[in-house]
Structure 1
Amino acid sequence: MADEFSMAVEDGIRLSKRLYFGKDRAVAPPRPMAAMDKSSPESSYLPAAPMVYAVISNPAIVDNPDVPSYQPHVHGRCDPPALIPLQMNGVTLEADCYLDTAFVTVTGSWRVHCVMGSRSCDCRVAIPMGEQGSILGIEVDVPKKSYCSQLVALDDKRDVEKIAKAEDGGFLKPHIFVLLIPEVDGGSNLIIKVRWSQKLLYQDGQFTLNIPFSFPEYVTPAGKKISKKEKIQLNVNSGPGTEVLCKTTSHPLKELRRQVGKLGFLYEAEVLAWSSYDFEFTYSVSSHTSGSVLLQSPSVLDMDQREMFCLYLLPGKLQNAKAFRKEVAFVVDISGSMRGKPLDDIKNALSAALLKLDPGDSFTVLAFNDETYLFSSSMLLATKEAIENATRWISMNFIAGGGTNILLALNQAIEMLSGTRNSLPVIFLVTDGSVEDERNICDVVKRHASSQGSLSPRIYTFGIGTFCNHYFLRMLALIGRGQHDAAYDADLIEARFEGLCARALSTVVANITIGGLDDLDGVEVYHSHVPDLLSESPLIVSGRYQGDVPDIIKARGTLSDLSNLAVDLKAQVTKDIPLNKVLGKQQIEIHTAQAWFSKNKDLEEKIVKMSVQESIVSEYTRMILLETEREMKATASRIKEIDCQVGDDKSQKIVVLQNLEVGFGNLIATAENTPPGSNEPKLPEAAEIFVRAASNFCGKLCGYCCCMCCIQTCSRMNDQCAIALTQLCGALACLGCFVCCEACCCGGHD
């Protein structure tokens, strides 16, 4: 879909050359693509900031709504429709950073500057999000109508008869959310407010917030007198007892306030052109205790009235601590569905990961399909020679083919690591498919973890595409004190797997236990086993409890030299960090994995309530769009007044969007070795349109003409009738060619 989207935008930019803005145009027309960019048009035209596009099927309606240009009429239609980027009148970015999560709100105003005032078109909204972005809500205000998103349960009776269409809304790519707003009049303004959450990157002891905020030059309004106001507001709250130190920033922020653990910044200016680079802000958090325990009471609307706690640990002073000696087993799926780019990228990432092993580490590589293939029957020291041999073996033996047997390979890796004593056993499992015995695999790994205790292997899972069951992989990681990561987009496989390996190989504290919680009533910790502390990732553990928490919570663990570490964490009540929102996505993902594993319906209902309450998408809820009719025109000040409640008002319509989550795997696609990404809907190619149109026309013509009665009638015609019939057939042939050209050719093409 991303390729088709990019081509549609390219068509729209070409079509926008019809627009005439007079001599007062303040911005230049879109520049032609450079030669090096033409090889990858997808990356050139995918949105790198919140964007709105006019969906143009009939190119004849493209014109300046203020100054008609009286251009010649354009024949034909655009199929698929062209996308003309709308000009933006103003934009405000607000970001609130709490612990390892940022909540982003973008409010902007766009004008349908490319459609006649007497005509209307659909508008497509595209929202690119940052690291592990999750859409929280969107509000749209147009003349006479308003739209607002809401989450409902999958079995909600209000949408049982509605059909979710791909074009109404969903994900263009894993990080780009798109939404269709129908029938917007030419010359009118759209005021859009969108909210999402994303993770902060953590590296070298610093947090980095990166928000897509790079607008192309052709969204700048065409007029010198039009005010263009850009505003960025940033708030950082790292919790009580900490100190925030600003490192770098991409935009000229002005510090508004500074308190313990808090910083506030503002940037506001009239600009000649919109921001052409992403917003980036880097800061560090210093703490004497390397962490804290945050306590908070639930709101009156919370379904669980137990108190909340959040324990977070930062590597801090341990950043330069010596990493553990490791014994690593890489278990990689080489079934038929991995053929091509997925397997090639995993080869490259695996070769890079091997080079990051320390000389004292040991490793082996296992490839599996229906069978298991071993690089070495025992663990080998990560010498230069061994790594070179492993790289050659990977190149020769990673040949895609066969089925998917995860249990056989995983069991073999666990057995090879069972003799580990003075090092940390680690397993990386990479797959793109689902198998029938997934719950049995989790039970087997659980038994191994119980029998081996603190020496059980850490399991880091990596899922490719949407055919694998990511909740099965997440459950394995929870049991194995590891992490789960995924690449839903084939272009991200190499980078994300390298990132997972870098984090997993940077363990500085293992076997962490939390004291002081066992004496509480009704305590529930959402991690079945507390993960290790990594130098490339903060540790956050949350849960619920009843009773009084001691003032000091003691966290204990083991360092790389096998000595014990004890850290005193002060328990502090906080009211200005919304823990339910900060921890919501993590808790929903953990609960979903547990609900899948245990088939617990009560837990599924709990997930639905959490999802609806916090506006966080889950597997058991669906996003809908409420359309409300209004008589008065909307203004920028009324964007906050949009009513998002579902009522009995007959003027309110419900548009059901596609499921925004990944599901629980696809056994059929795995059994058929379907490559990842093959389930994406594709728009028809021009040749396909031509063949389809021609076959339809010829089929109808033959259906009417090719019969014995017609042949007998033609044989009795005189010359004059034959000539008339020949001329008629020639006219029909011209008409058929015109139909084919109309289906294939867009009037905006050169």
Structure 2
Amino acid sequence: MADDEFAKAVEDGLKLAKRIYAGKDRHFGPPRPVGGMERSLASLLPAAPMVYAVVDDPGIVDNPDIPSYQPHVYGHCDPPALIPLQMNEIAVEADCFLDTAFVAIRGRWRVHCIMRNRSCDCRLLVPMGEQGSILGVEVEVGKNSYSTRVMDEEENQKMEKPERNEGGGFLKPELFSLTIPEVSGGSDISLTIRWSQKLFYEDGQFSITVPLNFPEYVTPFAKIFAKKEKIQLNVNSGFGKEVLLQTTSHALKERSRQAGILTFLYEAVVEHWSYKDFHFSYSVYSNDLFGGILLQSPTMYDYDQREMFCLYLFPGNNQNRKVFRREVVFIVDISGSMEGKPLENVKNALSTALLELNPVDKFNIIAFNDELHSFSSCMELVTDVKVENAHEWICKTFVAGGGTNIMHPLNKAIDLLFDARDSVPHIFLITDGSVEDERDICSTMRTRVANRGSMSPRISTFGVGSYCNHYFLRMLASISKGQYDAAYDPDLIESRMQRWFRRASSPIVTNIIVDIFNHLDEVEVYPTHIPDLSVGCPLIVSGRYQGKIPDSLKAKGILADMSEVVIDLEVKNTKDIPLEKVFAKQHIDLLTAEAWFSESKQLEEKIIKLSMRSSVPSEYTYMILLQTDTEKQDAVKQAKKHGSQKHAGPKNRLSILVHGLTIGFGNIVATSENLPTGFGEPKLPETNDVLEKAVRCCDNYCCCMYIIKACSKMNDKLAVVMAQGCAALSCLGCYECCCAACCESS
């Protein structure tokens, strides 16, 4: 597993770090509580923004400030060891708007483990929150600065060919990596990392979690060092209701409060860095359904000069609100690629979903590969006996094998739901594969859904891994008012599927319409078809329009008793919430699905403009890490100041392509060959034995470094005699160790 290999590289780095002599002032903060073994696998994986020295030559490891005697080690670490750098500053700022948070982390790390006249690459790793999207990284190190930039194909071709090809990207879901090249020992690395993430919503509460669990070994050596932590949180709910604070992990102090707008600050000098994630939750209270529309004019720099809007609807806190009766068909991919953990987790999630159905609901299950396997020939009423029979059928039938055919089970499911009355029919499709007729599937389902009228089946889709076409699945859900979700990590399949099912299968208001949209000169809504409003899940749609929106509007829909409900919408102009920024990722994802389906170059151009303006990566743009020489920048400023034309401007000295930011449009070849479900886990080669010998040299308390430390506490004459004798013995021992290492590596 990639986690094991990464943890092994960090473990090797920590062993190498034992070679570093920290001096007499070495200081460790007070012991922190830990669960289980101190160096467990989980403790070595990044649970906060971390920077590592990438060491392939163990001979360069030393304290840049206090050089010490080190036995030379021949050979290289393959793969490189990762030594966690010491952190000197950390500050977090989070801005929460509607259902989205924008997080900026500013920190300073020091390359404390590399000789001053040597250099190495340094690797930044950032575990991001729910549905995170990287927005940019800025780096200052020595006389060089780096920054990321999103650009299109044309601009990318004009640039010089990237000098390096390992700039980083997402190593796994929500774990972003970036390589900073050739950093000298003793340098300070100042970093600003920006990303967006969705606020988690459950039981009427919004919450944000930012990973801030730092290990003890990032604490600096020096005793005299003021370690300051700062967290600033700004909340603008935008919903016009009172915001109620629920829980917080750190001692936040409220700085200001207005209607729906709050500012908090936490600032402290600490003995050790934070060992828990920053968590904050709040609720927007209302006893009944409520909603509103936010309006905003575009800025002068916006390529789209149409007005912007955001429509939101909340289910309220009425726990007695009736839910529609459901008729549910589960369609599960059991092709050969689903074998093992993916299929087991899907089975567990499906079993839980069956238990959450009500006695008035109906259900059926279709397992598919090259063939169809149906639990029943008709829809079955939910009873204890039927659910138990379904569990037994799942255990017997869900055996991975065969190919992938998605059209056939979808048509079969719609036929099963043909007679659905006074209920909301649902189709839940789970697959890990991509097929050739995906556009035909979308066209066919669009026609069949339209022919069913207002109570047409909602097709909710769930993608497993990276081989399926997630834009096909998103498009299929969009055209049928369904819900889309995905899991790119096998350990997340069960939890995300359960949440996806609950969100999609508990509607309290369906067929929502806002009449004014039909009377505007032009309107563009994301998603195109307004989904249902479900229990415990706010509905937020957005878009652009031209025309005049009145001061008050109404939204209409159908309740579970089939009566009509009218919700008054408060119309409000806002300047405090950057609507374009908040919905940029949602618009890019939905537009990309539309562009894939229609094969429209015009939509692709639109996505490129939006991606470059918002700094959100897309399938049609690139993220590049650019290096600029700050000395040349200063020279340019001085030249301009004195009117000289000698310096035309700073040139980009290094450009590195950042990989792994997009998911692509599926892998038909991998699906047809039934390759195991792809989760994008990078594989690292085995560690070279040379590294093992290098780090084990310092595991022994008779190592040269420990002898020198002991000598420093003796009187001068005895220290000289002992140091000379021990040095001679140590050299012989290290010579033998190094000879053995070199012989084995050759």
Fold shared, TM-score > 0.5 on shorter chain: yes
Shift, 1:317, TM fit: 3.8
1:476 aligns with 2:476: yes
In the alignment, the residues of structure 2 paired with residue 411 and residue 332 of structure 1 have an alpha-carbon distance, to the nearest angstrom, of: 14
The Cα offsets for residues 318-369 of structure 1, whole Å up to 9 and x where unpaired, read as 4541221101111000001001111011011111111111111111110000
Deviates more, 1:4-13 or 1:268-277: 4-13
- C-alpha contact 1:465 1:487 (8 A) present in aligned 2: yes
The number of residues matched between the two structures is 686
- What does residue 656 of structure 2 align with? 655
Deviates more, 1:278-287 or 1:190-199: 278-287
Shift, 1:633, TM fit: 12
Shift, 1:161, TM fit: 6.2
In the alignment, the residues of structure 1 paired with residue 535 and residue 617 of structure 2 have an alpha-carbon distance, to the nearest angstrom, of: 30
Q: Per the alignment, do residues 510 and 674 of structure 1 end up closer, same or farther by CA in structure 2, a change over 3 Å counting? A: same
- What does residue 192 of structure 1 align with? 191
- What does residue 578 of structure 1 align with? 578
In the alignment, the residues of structure 2 paired with residue 678 and residue 545 of structure 1 have an alpha-carbon distance, to the nearest angstrom, of: 39
In the alignment, the residues of structure 2 paired with residue 445 and residue 518 of structure 1 have an alpha-carbon distance, to the nearest angstrom, of: 25
Identity of aligned residues (%): 58
- C-alpha contact 2:147 2:625 (8 A) present in aligned 1: yes
- What does residue 745 of structure 2 align with? 742
- C-alpha contact 2:507 2:534 (8 A) present in aligned 1: yes
Q: Per the alignment, do residues 687 and 270 of structure 1 end up closer, same or farther by CA in structure 2, a change over 3 Å counting? A: closer
In the alignment, the residues of structure 1 paired with residue 426 and residue 315 of structure 2 have an alpha-carbon distance, to the nearest angstrom, of: 20
TM-score, normalization by structure 1: 0.88
Opposite residue 54 of structure 1, the aligned amino acid is A
- What does residue 103 of structure 1 align with? 102
- C-alpha contact 1:294 1:574 (8 A) present in aligned 2: yes
1:674 aligns with 2:680: no
In the alignment, the residues of structure 2 paired with residue 335 and residue 689 of structure 1 have an alpha-carbon distance, to the nearest angstrom, of: 43
1:455 aligns with 2:458: no
Shift, 1:7, TM fit: 1.4
Opposite residue 310 of structure 2, the aligned amino acid is C
- What does residue 708 of structure 2 align with? none
- What does residue 276 of structure 1 align with? 275
- What does residue 316 of structure 1 align with? 316
Deviates more, 1:468-477 or 1:374-383: 374-383
- C-alpha contact 1:466 1:676 (8 A) present in aligned 2: yes
Shift, 1:3, TM fit: 3.1
Shift, 1:687, TM fit: 8.2
Deviates more, 1:156-165 or 1:454-463: 156-165
The Cα offsets for residues 196-252 of structure 1, whole Å up to 9 and x where unpaired, read as 000011111110111111111111111221110100000000116221111110000
- C-alpha contact 1:424 1:455 (8 A) present in aligned 2: yes
Opposite residue 347 of structure 1, the aligned amino acid is K
- What does residue 338 of structure 1 align with? 338
- What does residue 94 of structure 1 align with? 93
Q: Per the alignment, do residues 587 and 34 of structure 1 end up closer, same or farther by CA in structure 2, a change over 3 Å counting? A: closer
- What does residue 26 of structure 1 align with? 27
The Cα offsets for residues 124-183 of structure 1, whole Å up to 9 and x where unpaired, read as 000110000000000000001000001011343446763596632111111110000011
5 Å-filtered alignment, 1:340-489, equals: 340-489=340-489
Opposite residue 80 of structure 2, the aligned amino acid is P
Shift, 1:121, TM fit: 1.2
5 Å-filtered alignment, 1:475-554, equals: 475-554=475-554
- What does residue 63 of structure 2 align with? 64
- What does residue 17 of structure 2 align with? 16
- What does residue 152 of structure 2 align with? 153
Opposite residue 315 of structure 2, the aligned amino acid is P
Q: Per the alignment, do residues 557 and 317 of structure 1 end up closer, same or farther by CA in structure 2, a change over 3 Å counting? A: farther
The Cα offsets for residues 379-405 of structure 1, whole Å up to 9 and x where unpaired, read as 112211111111111011001111000
RMSD: 2.4
- What does residue 215 of structure 2 align with? 216
- C-alpha contact 1:143 1:632 (8 A) present in aligned 2: no
Deviates more, 1:22-31 or 1:662-671: 22-31
Q: Which ranges of structure 1 fall in alignment gaps of 5 or more residues?
A: 635-646, 691-733, 744-750
In the alignment, the residues of structure 2 paired with residue 402 and residue 375 of structure 1 have an alpha-carbon distance, to the nearest angstrom, of: 19
Deviates more, 1:254-263 or 1:28-37: 28-37
- Give the secondary-structure state (helix, strand or coil) at the position aligned to 1:7: helix
Q: Per the alignment, do residues 240 and 528 of structure 1 end up closer, same or farther by CA in structure 2, a change over 3 Å counting? A: closer
Opposite residue 467 of structure 2, the aligned amino acid is F
Shift, 1:739, TM fit: 5.4
- What does residue 162 of structure 1 align with? 161
In the alignment, the residues of structure 1 paired with residue 617 and residue 580 of structure 2 have an alpha-carbon distance, to the nearest angstrom, of: 14
Shift, 1:12, TM fit: 0.6
- C-alpha contact 2:488 2:679 (8 A) present in aligned 1: no
Q: Per the alignment, do residues 686 and 120 of structure 1 end up closer, same or farther by CA in structure 2, a change over 3 Å counting? A: closer
- Give the secondary-structure state (helix, strand or coil) at the position aligned to 2:263: strand
- Give the secondary-structure state (helix, strand or coil) at the position aligned to 1:662: coil
Q: Per the alignment, do residues 607 and 369 of structure 1 end up closer, same or farther by CA in structure 2, a change over 3 Å counting? A: same
- C-alpha contact 1:293 1:309 (8 A) present in aligned 2: yes
Q: Per the alignment, do residues 165 and 423 of structure 1 end up closer, same or farther by CA in structure 2, a change over 3 Å counting? A: farther
Q: Per the alignment, do residues 232 and 34 of structure 1 end up closer, same or farther by CA in structure 2, a change over 3 Å counting? A: closer
- Give the secondary-structure state (helix, strand or coil) at the position aligned to 2:23: coil
- Give the secondary-structure state (helix, strand or coil) at the position aligned to 2:75: coil
Q: Per the alignment, do residues 249 and 32 of structure 1 end up closer, same or farther by CA in structure 2, a change over 3 Å counting? A: closer
- Give the secondary-structure state (helix, strand or coil) at the position aligned to 2:549: coil
Shift, 1:71, TM fit: 2.7
- Give the secondary-structure state (helix, strand or coil) at the position aligned to 1:631: helix
- Give the secondary-structure state (helix, strand or coil) at the position aligned to 2:262: strand
Shift, 1:542, TM fit: 1.1
- C-alpha contact 1:418 1:456 (8 A) present in aligned 2: no
- What does residue 666 of structure 2 align with? 665
Shift, 1:505, TM fit: 2.3
In the alignment, the residues of structure 1 paired with residue 468 and residue 163 of structure 2 have an alpha-carbon distance, to the nearest angstrom, of: 23
- What does residue 299 of structure 2 align with? 299
In the alignment, the residues of structure 1 paired with residue 381 and residue 465 of structure 2 have an alpha-carbon distance, to the nearest angstrom, of: 33
Q: Per the alignment, do residues 652 and 118 of structure 1 end up closer, same or farther by CA in structure 2, a change over 3 Å counting? A: closer
In the alignment, the residues of structure 1 paired with residue 163 and residue 351 of structure 2 have an alpha-carbon distance, to the nearest angstrom, of: 43
Shift, 1:24, TM fit: 2.3
Q: Per the alignment, do residues 271 and 385 of structure 1 end up closer, same or farther by CA in structure 2, a change over 3 Å counting? A: same
Q: Per the alignment, do residues 591 and 740 of structure 1 end up closer, same or farther by CA in structure 2, a change over 3 Å counting? A: farther
The Cα offsets for residues 569-597 of structure 1, whole Å up to 9 and x where unpaired, read as 01110001000011111111110100100
- C-alpha contact 1:318 1:535 (8 A) present in aligned 2: no
Q: Per the alignment, do residues 96 and 34 of structure 1 end up closer, same or farther by CA in structure 2, a change over 3 Å counting? A: closer
Q: Per the alignment, do residues 63 and 132 of structure 1 end up closer, same or farther by CA in structure 2, a change over 3 Å counting? A: same
In the alignment, the residues of structure 2 paired with residue 320 and residue 196 of structure 1 have an alpha-carbon distance, to the nearest angstrom, of: 38
- What does residue 724 of structure 1 align with? none
Opposite residue 684 of structure 1, the aligned amino acid is P
- C-alpha contact 1:289 1:569 (8 A) present in aligned 2: no
- What does residue 251 of structure 1 align with? 250
Q: Per the alignment, do residues 399 and 429 of structure 1 end up closer, same or farther by CA in structure 2, a change over 3 Å counting? A: same
Opposite residue 187 of structure 1, the aligned amino acid is G
Q: Per the alignment, do residues 735 and 64 of structure 1 end up closer, same or farther by CA in structure 2, a change over 3 Å counting? A: closer
The Cα offsets for residues 597-629 of structure 1, whole Å up to 9 and x where unpaired, read as 001100000000000001111111110011001
In the alignment, the residues of structure 1 paired with residue 86 and residue 21 of structure 2 have an alpha-carbon distance, to the nearest angstrom, of: 14
Q: Per the alignment, do residues 164 and 430 of structure 1 end up closer, same or farther by CA in structure 2, a change over 3 Å counting? A: farther
- What does residue 139 of structure 1 align with? 138
Shift, 1:57, TM fit: 0.9
TM superposition outliers: structure 1 runs of 4+ over 6 Å:
28-38, 687-690, 734-737
In the alignment, the residues of structure 1 paired with residue 65 and residue 268 of structure 2 have an alpha-carbon distance, to the nearest angstrom, of: 27
- C-alpha contact 2:30 2:272 (8 A) present in aligned 1: no
In the alignment, the residues of structure 2 paired with residue 515 and residue 281 of structure 1 have an alpha-carbon distance, to the nearest angstrom, of: 37
Shift, 1:26, TM fit: 2.2
TM-score, normalization by structure 2: 0.88
- C-alpha contact 2:520 2:547 (8 A) present in aligned 1: yes
Q: Per the alignment, do residues 3 and 160 of structure 1 end up closer, same or farther by CA in structure 2, a change over 3 Å counting? A: farther
- Give the secondary-structure state (helix, strand or coil) at the position aligned to 2:631: coil
- C-alpha contact 1:142 1:633 (8 A) present in aligned 2: no
